[in-house]
A and B are shown apart, each in its own frame.
Chain A
Amino acid sequence: MKSLYSIKFIFRIISLIIFTTFVYAGIISAAEPVKTPAGTQKTAPAAKETQPKEKVSPLLDPNDPKSILYLDTKGKLAALAGAVLPKDRYGLVDWAKAVKDKVISPRPSLDPKEEEMPAMDMNVVIEAKSDFVNDVVYPHYMHTWWLKCEVCHPAIFVPAKGQNNMTMSAIVEGKFCGRCHGKVAFPLADCNRCHTQPKKAAKK
């Protein structure tokens, strides 16, 4: 009998702990919106959005969690609807395709006085060191849509062909292409997006 009592006692303690945690959690969740009055305005429509009835512009929908939020030129919060942006096979935004498809049209600079530099249409073939891996065709073109020369040269890449001793190991460690790819640009796992040009048949 004694053991039965002790089991009951343990159950009581457990239920008490569970009860108190629920109460405590309830207080916190109730208190949260009070703590951040600015946040309540945003959270309220976000809860509504589970109902798909509300129709919004395909381009601007800051409440859609798939939207990409950004500050416009006036510093106001704006959004690009995730649904209209092209995606790669990882579900990440394919920014280059977004420009090609004219979904977005990036400004040359945040400073309106700055002159627009024309994009540089020059491909560089980077031979893969391995005999069995396709060579890389690096397009300056799409890179210069967003970046000016000094972003990469000479700090990341020496501006001379064959002078950068690139290896995938170094890139994975964050050097060369790895400075951006895998971070702000498409991931390194997407091998064949860069390794496009087959080695010449003779080499095989």
Chain B
Amino acid sequence: MLSIAHSAKLGDIVFDDKAASLKKAGVGPAVFPHGKHEDIYKCDDCHPKIFKDKRGANDVTMQKNMSGEFCGNIECHNSPKAFPLYQCKKCHTEKKK
């Protein structure tokens, strides 16, 4: 079972809810490259303690990221291990709508 799960990598996950807010902030939706993270981490590094493993079940906001939740976990994008949160365009890569 595990090997099957690993062989089929998940693609990009686009965070396109909160469209109105994204528009005001002048950035496109964040694109999360799940596959890239699979190369570095095991499933249970993030699931379920940081992210519920269900699409749309995580109400991710920048404020929560900034406060140490989700992507901004103190071990991840709020640490020197990964690029910092202020590099907006590294995640908010999609074209503005």
Contact = CB atoms under 8 A, between A and B. Distances in A.
Binding between chains A and B: yes
Closest 6 CB pairs of A and B: A132-B61, A191-B66, A189-B84, A188-B86, A131-B21, A130-B25
Interface of A: 128-134, 167-169, 171-172, 182, 187-189, 191-192, 195
Interface residues of B, number: 21
Contacts, number: 57
A169 B18 contact: no
Contacts of A192: 66-67
Given A133-B61, A133-B63, A172 B24 contact: no
Contacts of A171: 86
Contacts of B61: 130, 132-133
Given A130-B62, A131-B21, A133-B61, A191 B26 contact: no
Contact of A129 (B26, B67, B78, B86): B26
Given A130-B21, A130-B24, A130-B25, 19 more contacts: A129-B24, A130-B22, A130-B61, A131-B21, A131-B24, A132-B18, A132-B21, A133-B25, A134-B66, A167-B25, A167-B26, A168-B86, A171-B86, A172-B86, A182-B86, A188-B84, A191-B66, A191-B85, A191-B86
